[in-house]
Amino acid sequence: MYNDSLDTKACWGYEEDCKAENSFSIPHCPGDHKGWVATKRAQLDTYYAQGDFGYVRDQRKEMMLLCEPLFVDDSSLECSEHMRFCRARNVMLNFTDLLNRKEPIRYKMDVLKEGEIGGYCTLNEKRLQENADHISPLQSWGPELRNFRKLHHRPIVHGDCDIVIEKPTFIMKIDAIVNMYHHFCDFFNLYASLHVNLSHPSAFDKDNHILIWESYSYRSAFQDTFEAFTRNPLWDLKTFRGETVCFRNLVFPLLPRMIFGLFYNTPLIYGCEKSGLFKAFGDHVLHRLQIPVHQRKDRRIRVTLLSRDTQYRKILNENELVNALKENPEYKVRKVVYNKNVSFKKQLEITRNSDIFIGIHGAGLTHLMFLPDWAAVFEIYNCEDPNCYKDLARLRGVKYFTWKDTSRLVQQDPGTHPDGGAHAKFTNYSFDVKEFLRIVSLARNHVKHHNAFRKFNNSHGKIQNDTKTTDNEDLSYQLFGIQHSFIAQSITSSTSSTSSNKLSSIVARITIHMQYPALANLLEILKSQNNVVMQLIVYSCIHNIHIPESNEYFELILLIIMLLNNLTIAKSYMEVKTKRSFPFDEDFVTNNQVKKFKVHINETRNSINNMSEHNFTKRSKVQSSEASKRVSLVEKMRPTSIAAYVGQKQIIGPDTVLSYLLEKGEISSMIFWGPPGCGKTSLTNIIACLSRELTSNNVHIVNLSAANSGVKSIREAVTAAKNKSKFGCKTIVFMDEIHCFNKLQQDIFLPHVEAGTFTLIGCTTENPSYSLNPALLSRCRVFVFNKLTERNVTEILYKAIECINGGTLDAQEKELTNSRKQIKFHSNTKHKFHVDNNTVQWLAEACDGDARVALNALELATLAKQAGGSKASYNNNVTITLKDIKEGLKKTHVLSEKETNQSHHMYSALHKSIRAGKASASLYWMARIMAAKEDPVNIARRLVRISSEDIGLADPDALGVAVHTMHGCQMIGMPECDVLLGQCTVYLAKAPKSRSIYHALKAAEKMISECKGPQPAVPLHMRHNSADKAI
């Protein structure tokens, strides 16, 4: 769930299962409904569909398949009506013709001609052309997609592409680069498209590409906006000129000038305001660009007046107006010019920290989307056009003011716009100062009485005057502002104490939602309180959040890591980076209180990890307190040292490569392959323990399982590893069941294993040659684990019995116990149960080398017997019998060929039994193979091979019997086809044998392989006639 500005427990509002009380925002309709809207409800619904998340809902409902795939690797194309929004998979775009285009390409509708875009799918040509009806550069994707054609093969699989783009790619048609209004229209539609595309698992991920649909390089003062949507360089049509490019995921987002589109051509119904979609867009940009909220030092209203440096549409007496505002002590006035000299991020920072926003048409009033909820907009010239800023203000939900008495406006000159003509929008004006101040006072009253502003401003006042009495409600508004009210409410509901425990809870909530500015603000508060211990905790929380290197708080992370590990380095770092004295001395760091709170820090980290959706390890919910306390016997028996490890001497024994590497602390990437329960996970546990010992805990261990992890978890581990490496901390990633990842998912490991970002240790029960990517295998050392011997399992069982306070009996002791004669057990008083040695030996044999199966069976039998009591007990000692063990075991663990090498031995035994003519032996091995759950078709294939290799011309019908058996297995499957396999096996075993064809073929192959020089040419009289003619 995307949570830049949404609580993970909430929803946006367009989802089918989204309840109204959980939706992100609900519009407000304070005015009366008018005209053709019959009811208040209809008024709200119409507004919601015109300019809110209802528009996203409708676009998602309109989605239709225009080119339908049959298989996973096929192409696809789906669009909403009139091709407003489209997305495609595995499609090819041919840009080779662009080499002949010399003119700059912009607003062109012939970038792709017929046949230059297409894919391998079933195309609905009629529906495609019906929806390509809005042929305009910025109204739909009809000009491009009307030329979509069905290809004769899959372009990516067939290798038709010069370039294959794996990451999702968004194509953008830019309306206007230099115009703020049109610029935000472009990006608002891109943001809305992320919601329409929400079915894609990485819809809001910044790891995508943006392709500008023109040959101009994007150069604008607003270019920073792209950082809110992608972390990759921008592309334009020059990037792929002359190339054929295939895209795995291609998105054609909503366009700025669509008929009945959003933002630019939205005919909004009146009487409603506060679009959640527009608010979410503002929050998205502010959060992704990390625009800070300034701490207030007083209660003054912050007034921002937007000036212009052009020769038209100017406020000619703006200095007089500004000076009049400054005379009022209630106002903190700032005059700014939003031009190329002020960075876009700085413009957003000024806007976000404004209470009253004043400007003339074209001065930058579009920035009102980034104002706080309580702000007021004063459009100083009323253009009498709702599409100016009145509609935009009510979409955002901020109060709009403008001039009512036009007699107070003095038109000085018509301006000097080169193309504007006599339009009133380009006229320069002077404004009546008294009327100007009156309207500003109306805006001031609105701001001061706004509930959110009062809480926000009061919290700053209390913090400034008396930090010790700050309550949680004020603190929450101080940290988040009204934009994050869902967190503010949760903190408000807690007590008003500022103890370390309560503050830790607040910090945890902030950390979950990755609010870096909030953490930074909280640090300033704590410093003013001299709350050093809580500063440590906050630093620790920041360290646990993934922050890109470009983030302004990355320096803070460096500081705390050095602080917690090396005070001397931290001191010098503080002096150089922060240019102020270091607040912690040697006496403080060695104090017992700090040691105690370092434990508190780790507990805070754990609580955050348990609550956060960015966990590396998935934790199951605890059903009861008893279950949470009990540790399974398998986990209790996990060894932590090589000395305690049982079995696999060929891998970890003396003078082995792995033992030598572990002693030196040089751990390389490796794959552990072996059957279940043979000690793979236990060995990874030993490696983790040894790594911590050898590096003094300066190693980061990440435990993952491919069964419940995905690419997102890997990327998070990679990011964490890169951050850790900057401080000399190595990362080891343990990936259990690595074979559960498909080949594409496994590719994500390759560059990071190659670069040494982390060390990968994967465990698998399947043959790596089949289940793992060859490129990944070549970068890892494969260690083959054998099935544990009976002696190994017996040793583990005896250790386990001792671990859980049990004892063993030999046959004589068991006989005496059953006859209830007085005997002395070894340490009898402390044993809770006894198991006779014969039962242990039987269990070691029956578990088929799987120690996990043996331990689970022993644990289950022990728990059941101790819970229910037993007549076989003596002196309060329970005896575990063979029957109890069998109940716990139920059946042995049988593996398939991919999991162990035993099955191919059974295939060999079957083959040799048939060759020897032993029908009974052949049936036995056939039954063993079927018991191992092998695919019956694979068994039948082996019989087909035997029929030719060992029988051949001695019985030509044998081949037909075997082939028909294979076809029968394909048609009816198991268990019905077992008789077919048995019949064929007996037939082949009793058939006469001849290996003459096999030997003759091998002789021919040997002649060819041993030929010195070129192979003999085909004799002329044996050549094909058409070949002679061709020559």
**Three-state SS at 110:** coil
pLDDT at 964 over 90: yes
Phi, psi angle pair for 232, to nearest 5°: -105, 160
Same domain, 197 and 306: no
The first and second tokens of residue 295, run together, are 């701490």
Task: Say if residues 717 and 731 touch (Cβ distance below 8 Å).
Answer: yes
The first and second tokens of residue 50, run together, are 């015109």
Kindly indicate the confidence band of residue 696, based on its pLDDT and cuts at 50, 70 and 90: low
| CA pair distance 155, 150, nearest whole angstrom | 11
CB atoms within 10 A of CB 1017: 7
Mean pLDDT of the region 503-528: 51
What pLDDT score does 923 carry? 93
817 falls within a domain: no
What pLDDT score does 539 carry? 52
Task: Look at residues 440, 455, 470 and tell me which one is the last residue of a structural domain.
Answer: 455
Task: Look at residues 396, 430, 455 and tell me which one is the last residue of a structural domain.
Answer: 455
Q: Which of 146-155, 303-312, 418-427, 599-608 has the lowest mean pLDDT?
A: 599-608
What pLDDT score does 150 carry? 92
- Please tell me the total count of domains within the chain: 6
- Residues near 604 by beta carbon (within 8 Å), at least 6 away in sequence: 504, 507, 508, 537, 540, 541
pLDDT at 1027 over 50: no
Strand order of the sheet with strand 781-784?
699-705, 730-736, 759-764, 670-673, 781-784
pLDDT at 916 over 50: yes
Mean pLDDT of the region 705-722: 80
What are the pLDDT digits (tens) for 437-489?
A: 999 999 999 998 888 887 776 665 443 433 333 333 333 333 333 233 333 33
What pLDDT score does 28 carry? 86
What pLDDT score does 965 carry? 93
Q: Taking the CA atoms of 92, 93, 97 and 98 in sequence, report the sign of the dihedral they define.
A: negative
Q: Specify the higher pLDDT residue, 485 or 987.
A: 987
Which DSSP symbol is given to 28?
A: B
CATH at residue 933: 1.20.272.10
3 falls within a domain: yes
CA 254 and chain centroid, separation = 25
The three-point CA angle 917-920-921 to 5° equals: 75
Same domain, 155 and 247: yes
Same domain, 149 and 17: no
What pLDDT score does 773 carry? 81
- Whether residue 975 is preceded by a cis peptide bond, meaning omega within 30 degrees of 0, is yes
What are the pLDDT digits (tens) for 395-449?
A: 899 999 988 777 777 766 766 555 555 566 677 888 889 999 999 999 999 998 8
pLDDT at 829 over 70: no
Same domain, 794 and 907: no
Rg (CA), the chain: 37
Cα distance between the two ends of the chain? 67
The first and second tokens of residue 627, run together, are 């279950």
Same domain, 370 and 435: yes
Spatial CA neighbour of 647 closest among 661, 637, 633: 637
Q: What is the three-state SS of 88-103? A: EEEEEEECHHHHHCCC
342 falls within a domain: yes
Task: Say if residues 501 and 527 touch (Cβ distance below 8 Å).
Answer: no
CA 528 and chain centroid, separation = 38
Same domain, 747 and 698: yes
What are the pLDDT digits (tens) for 214-237?
A: 877 766 667 888 889 998 888 988
What pLDDT score does 322 carry? 93
Same domain, 214 and 198: yes
The first and second tokens of residue 465, run together, are 């005057």
771 falls within a domain: no
pLDDT at 883 over 90: no
Task: Say if residues 850 and 891 touch (Cβ distance below 8 Å).
Answer: no
Alpha carbons within 13 A on the beta-carbon side of 1005: 6
pLDDT at 317 over 80: yes
Same domain, 640 and 673: yes
Kindly indicate the confidence band of residue 85, based on its pLDDT and cuts at 50, 70 and 90: very high
Mean pLDDT of the region 935-945: 91
Q: Specify the higher pLDDT residue, 825 or 353.
A: 353
Same domain, 234 and 280: no
Spatial CA neighbour of 559 closest among 583, 530, 526, 528: 583
Query: Percent of the chain scored above 70 by pLDDT?
Result: 72
Mean pLDDT of the region 800-808: 80
| CA pair distance 720, 702, nearest whole angstrom | 10
Task: Say if residues 184 and 351 touch (Cβ distance below 8 Å).
Answer: no
547 falls within a domain: no
| CA pair distance 722, 741, nearest whole angstrom | 23
| CA pair distance 8, 537, nearest whole angstrom | 24
Task: Look at residues 194, 226, 252 and tell me which one is the last residue of a structural domain.
Answer: 252
Q: Which of 379-383, 540-544, 822-826, 948-952 has the lowest mean pLDDT?
A: 822-826
User: Exposed/middle/buried for 850, CB within 10 Å: 0-12, 13-18, 19+?
Assistant: buried
**Cα–Cα distances in angstroms (integers) from residue 543 to residues 373, 440, 546, 720, in the given order:** 31, 45, 8, 10
pLDDT at 779 over 80: yes
The first and second tokens of residue 494, run together, are 């807690």
Task: Say if residues 767 and 675 touch (Cβ distance below 8 Å).
Answer: no
1020 falls within a domain: no
Concatenating the DSSP letter of every residue in 874-908 gives BTTBEEE-HHHHHHHH-S-----TTT-SHHHHHHH
Same domain, 348 and 436: yes
Domain that holds residue 665: 633-764
Same domain, 230 and 131: yes
Place of tokens 């003078």: 655
CATH at residue 848: 1.10.8.60
What pLDDT score does 518 carry? 54
Q: Which of 180-194, 524-538, 921-935 has the lowest mean pLDDT?
A: 524-538
pLDDT at 908 over 70: yes
Mean pLDDT of the region 870-884: 60
Same domain, 236 and 307: no
* 781 Rama sector, left if φ>0, alpha if ψ -120 to 50, beta otherwise: beta
Q: Which of 187-196, 272-281, 337-346, 590-599 has the lowest mean pLDDT?
A: 590-599
Mean pLDDT of the region 821-831: 43
850 falls within a domain: yes
What pLDDT score does 890 carry? 59
Mean pLDDT of the region 226-254: 90
| CA pair distance 950, 761, nearest whole angstrom | 44
| CA pair distance 425, 279, nearest whole angstrom | 28
388 falls within a domain: yes
CATH at residue 704: 3.40.50.300
Q: Specify the higher pLDDT residue, 50 or 898.
A: 50
